[in-house]
Structure 1
């Protein structure tokens, strides 16, 4: 039986689903600027219509929110990160973050899927010279709040100084989990993906708790 999404009003926007509104509360609590459905596109060779759910303007990441993996149209998402016919300017690196249900535990850092074009083609991955459109890369990413920096420990050495400066400006950042070398989608968005090597800090845990428990009554903001 198909489940109908509940339109939800929050922060001046009418979201198509309650899950989208919950993620907006998470972004707000982590200090991440967001725009909701700011622009639609025609993507891929067939120029199919695509409207991303969110834009995170400070880092140029687009976000797709889906309650279950079964609802994902992976061919459309692949078209969305096409280097010349996708959601980004011609030749630019496009990252699409795919968010499922808000994790119900933060004992370890929750991970999320990302899809990108062959951003390292000709560098790390050494595609052939005639590779006009390298295959999309599937990776894992996670959010971390600025006051959770201490939980990274020695992993701080893996973050560029320019990235740290960005953190200080607006409070949170999605951090890559390893190199995006997956060639097929991995995992299941219906369950929580966790990095057992890293414990989430209190700010991140609180943000996810807020998102999971937010109440949207009579068109009011989350309470």
Structure 2
């Protein structure tokens, strides 16, 4: 069963706009002294930065970093379109524009690196909430020994031992997270991690000592 192929007007318009913007960026880079394959690399760099910023915006629309680099790439694309529309003499490109074109690769590399390696709110490892503190042990008064009888001296009754407070339960996910921190600390310093370092890395204070004991 064959299906009729109908052209999508939006897709056709996107292809035309992309091709024209690509050509304008190439022409501007060539006029600024970037000849050969380098002139073709500039429009690819601008479009890739634009796409990378847009993908980060789809995941987190409030990211200031993604919005900043999206606007930088958009200004670069629109600026090339306007500059090649007859407002700029491509035979005599001003020095400031040559400087901008020559510095664009470093700027695009910085933007791509920040977009690729910056953490968003969803990328951070969630730390489980600290469990509730155990209830204090009840105070038990010792039972006094009975007075010895005159005819027979009985031994005093034993005093019951006070119950020990149960150690706080440590979630397995928090132990796994602390184990990763300990491995990183051992690799960096060559020593085992202590409770103070775990507390500084976000582990709750009442659980740091128990976790250090489990990791020993």
- What's the TM-score once normalised by structure 1's chain length? 0.20
* Richer in helix (by share): 2
- What's the TM-score once normalised by structure 2's chain length? 0.20
Larger radius of gyration: 2
